[in-house]
Chain A
Amino acid sequence: MNNRLGALWLAGLVIGMVGCGGQSTLEMATTPADAKAAITEALDSWKKGTTQKALAEGKPPLYLQDNSFAKGVPLADYSFENDGKVVGTGISFIVNLKLKGEGGGEGKARRVAYRVVTKPNRSVALEDGIP
């Protein structure tokens, strides 16, 4: 009996050391509800005129990665085109942005996608294209 236990223990150790190889599945880094709350807060903050730095220094911090936001281009309005879909470990939202032009005039409309995660940090990152 002891021999059998010993052999099992040894086999476990060998497998553990050698590794089973292959690929395992990564956990999601958000939930649909958390992701929607984070992106809504981020875009509302942009609309209100909050800066990227202030948003990142908030408690808890929220990182919105978008060139126009970083450059201080004001956001007039936005609307969600979908309820988000899983892409990678995050949720991807397609959003229609209405940016203000110089001097508060009518600016450009942009159709973009943002990838949102909330674990370990809340981050809303502009996607390279529409997934």
Chain B
Amino acid sequence: MVRNMARGQSRRGFTLIELLVVIAIIAVLVGLLVPAVQKVREAANRMSCSNNLKQMGLALHNYHSSEGCLPSGRTAVSLSVHAQLLPHLEQDGIFKLIDFTQAWNTAANANARASVVKTFLCPSDSFNAIPAGWAGNNYRVNQGSGLLWGLPPTTAGDPNTGFPAPNGPFFLNSKMRLTDLTDGTSNTAALSEHRKGDFNNGMSSVSDTFYLGQAKGLYPATPDEAQKIADTLDTKNLLFQGMSDVGAPWIYGYHSTTVYFHVTRPFSNSCMYPPGRIATAANSNHSGGVNVALCDGSVRFVPAAINLAAWRAMGSATGGEVISE
């Protein structure tokens, strides 16, 4: 009797087929769910990134209100716009660590150089490993649609003598007023984004700045030539690897850390053409485009396939171009 009861109460287990069916159903559900979750995560990251740019755009306006001009693209000792904006981003503590008479790489600025500012980091950029003592950055100020990095030289024989001066709102010692932006603040880019690099000149990654100029035909005379070179560059060739400090430290006002150009389309290869010519491009890990903060403080998502003329027009502050939507 007892044996019969025990037999009657014994639970029937799942068969192998049933288990496999359940696992298959779970796998299908996960397969459907994961891309959806990733899409939502990326949308949230893109919004967060856009918010960071908005904060920086507002900080530029607050800086203008208090100083009467925008911060210079880089100071005489190559400190960045980011360093100058800190008090307007509620980062007074880090601002006080900076000695503005000393260069970015001096011992006097070591603590600031290593201080992470969350507003400077795009959550979509998963590359968060940075050399010791440095803090990363994904946002860059717009130097304009010209190729020249510094101010035009006046020395006879210099290949850049007579080259047009930078036409964006931020360049060496620029200190422009909003009224100087004759194209209008809503037609001129202030900031965009750039992925951090690998910090290693012994390897190549897409977000690096490639060092050209040593081979014939790789010294562009015009922005169009620069676009052509960037489009056809063999990025795997390690002979094009210069020093690789892309995206850190934010305190350094440099074309590979805190400044970008509107010479080439977003997502083009970033290149430096010594002597003196540079075209670092905007890029991001967002699907299909980059966030751009305009000088009026608004933020737009610009598609990667933007018309090149419109992109360059957005880069110049005084070109008189009309940007179509």
Contact = CB atoms under 8 A, between A and B. Distances in A.
Interface of A: 21-26, 29, 52-53, 56, 61, 63, 65, 67, 70-71, 86-90, 115, 117-123, 125-128, 131
24 contacts: A21-B123, A23-B128, A23-B129, A23-B135, A24-B129, A25-B129, A26-B129, A63-B201, A63-B239, A65-B242, A67-B274, A70-B215, A70-B239, A71-B214, A88-B131, A88-B199, A123-B201, A123-B202, A123-B241, A125-B201, A125-B242, A125-B244, A126-B242, A128-B242
Contact of A70 (B123, B129, B199, B214): B214
A47 B210 CA distance: 26
Contacts of B245: 88
Given A56-B238, A70-B214, A87-B105, A126 B243 contact: yes
Contacts of A23: 116, 121, 128-130, 135-136
Interface of B: 105, 116, 121, 123, 128-132, 134-136, 199-203, 211, 213-215, 238-239, 241-245, 254, 272, 274
Contacts of B135: 23
A128 B243 contact: yes
Contacts of B241: 63, 65, 123, 125
Contacts of B254: 128
Contacts of B132: 25-26, 86
Contacts of A120: 200, 202-203
A65 B116 contact: no
B243 A125 contact: yes
A4 to B, nearest CB: 24
A125 B244 CA distance: 9
Contact of B211 (A24, A65, A90): A65
A90 B215 contact: no
B201 A90 contact: yes
B238 A127 contact: no
Contacts of B202: 29, 63, 117-123
B214 A52 contact: yes
Contact of A65 (B128, B131, B201, B203): B201
A119 to B, nearest CB: 6
Contacts of B129: 23-26
Nearest to A66: B214
Q: Which of B134, B243, B245, B274 has the most CB of A within 10 A?
A: B243
Contact of A123 (B105, B136, B238): B238
A126 B240 CA distance: 11
B172 to A, nearest CB: 13
Contacts of A121: 202-203, 238
A49 to B, nearest CB: 17
A63 B238 CA distance: 7
A115 B256 CA distance: 16
A96 B214 CA distance: 21
A120 B200 CA distance: 9
A25 B128 CA distance: 8
Contacts of A22: 116, 128
Contacts of A25: 129-132
B220 to A, nearest CB: 16
Contacts of B128: 21-24
B199 A131 contact: no
Given A24-B128, A65-B239, 10 more contacts: A24-B129, A26-B199, A29-B199, A63-B201, A63-B238, A88-B244, A90-B201, A121-B238, A122-B202, A126-B211
